[in-house]
Structure 1
Amino acid sequence: MTTILIVDDEYLIADILSFALEDEGYLTVTAGSGQRAWNVLDREKPQLIITDYMMPGMNGIELAEKVRAHKTLGAVPMILMSGAQGHLGLARPDLFVEVYDKPFDIQAVLAKVRSLVPPDLS
C-alpha cells in the first residue's frame, strides 16, 4: 500500500490529513516532531513525506535536508506545510515539490498527493 509520512506537532492537523488520505486509499504514519519522523523512517519506507515547518527539535527544512542526504530516502518527494514560514520552503525547491500555507485547502493537497503518488487501491 502507498505509505505517506505526516510530520506535524499539531496533532489535529496530522489527524485531519491522515483521515483524508486514508479515505483516498493511502496508508499513513504520523510523527509529532522531526526527530520522531527520522525514527519512523528507520522502519517505514514512505513514498511521500508531508511535513510542518515549525516543530520542536528539528524544523521541516532540517528534516528535509537530512532526508535528501540519505542514500535511500533522498528521492522521496516532500511537501511542506507552514503557518508563517512557507516562504522559506518556497526558496528551497531542491527540498520540496510543493509548499502550502496553513490553513490549507484539503482538496488541493489531496490532488497534489494523487499526482505525486497514486493510491494503491488493490
Structure 2
Amino acid sequence: MAIIVIAEDEFLLADMLASILEEAGHEVRSAPHGAGALKLTRTHKPDLVITDYMMPLMTGLELAQAIRADADLANIPVLLVSGAQGNIGRDNPEYFSAVLDKPYTQAMMIRAVDELLSHSGSS
C-alpha cells in the first residue's frame, strides 16, 4: 500500500480518482489546490503525488517545483494529469515523473501509478 496525495480542484474528479486508488489498495489524501497538496506532502511524505495543472493558489507546475526544491521531498514522483497542459509536463521532466492526459481510463491510471511506484521502490 502506498500513500498518494492528489491535487485536484474539481471535486468529482478528485473523488473518482481517490476511489480508484483506494480500491487498488492505496491510502489517499486529497487537496483542492497545489498549496494544500504541498502541505499534505510535507506532513505525510507520500510515495506519489498526482496533480492537475490548472488550480487556484498554486498550479501543478508550482507544486512540482516546490516538491523538487525541498530536499526532504525531492525524490517523490509527481504525476501530472491534465487535459490541456500535458505538454508543459513533458517539457519539464525535471519536475514531472510522468504525464497522463485527460481523459484517461481507470486502467491507464492504475498502470501509470504502478509504474511510478515500482520505479520509486514503493508499492
TM-score by length of 2: 0.91
User: Aligned residue for 2:5?
Assistant: 5
- Structure 2: distance between partners of 1:25 and 1:2: 8
Q: CA offsets per residue over residues 19-67 of structure 1, 9 Å max, x none?
A: 0111111000000001111221232110000000000011100110000
Q: How is 1:2-81 mapped onto 2 (pairs within 5 angstroms)?
A: 2-81=2-81
Q: Which runs of 5+ in 1 are unaligned?
A: none
- Structure 2: distance between partners of 1:112 and 1:42: 23
Question: After TM superposition, what 4+ stretches of structure 1 lie above 4 angstroms from structure 2?
Answer: none
The farther-off stretch of 103-112 and 18-27 is: 103-112
- Count of aligned residue pairs for this structure pair: 120
- Structure 1: distance between partners of 2:101 and 2:41: 25
- Structure 2: distance between partners of 1:101 and 1:116: 16
Q: Compare relative contact order (CA 8 Å, sep 6+) and give the higher one, 1 or 2.
A: 1
Q: Which runs of 5+ in 2 are unaligned?
A: none
User: Aligned residue for 1:98?
Assistant: 98
Q: Indicate conservation of the 8 Å contact 2:97/2:116, yes or no.
A: no
- Structure 2: distance between partners of 1:101 and 1:16: 16
RMSD: 1.4
User: Aligned residue for 2:82?
Assistant: 82
- Structure 1: distance between partners of 2:115 and 2:99: 15
The farther-off stretch of 103-112 and 4-13 is: 103-112
TM-score by length of 1: 0.92
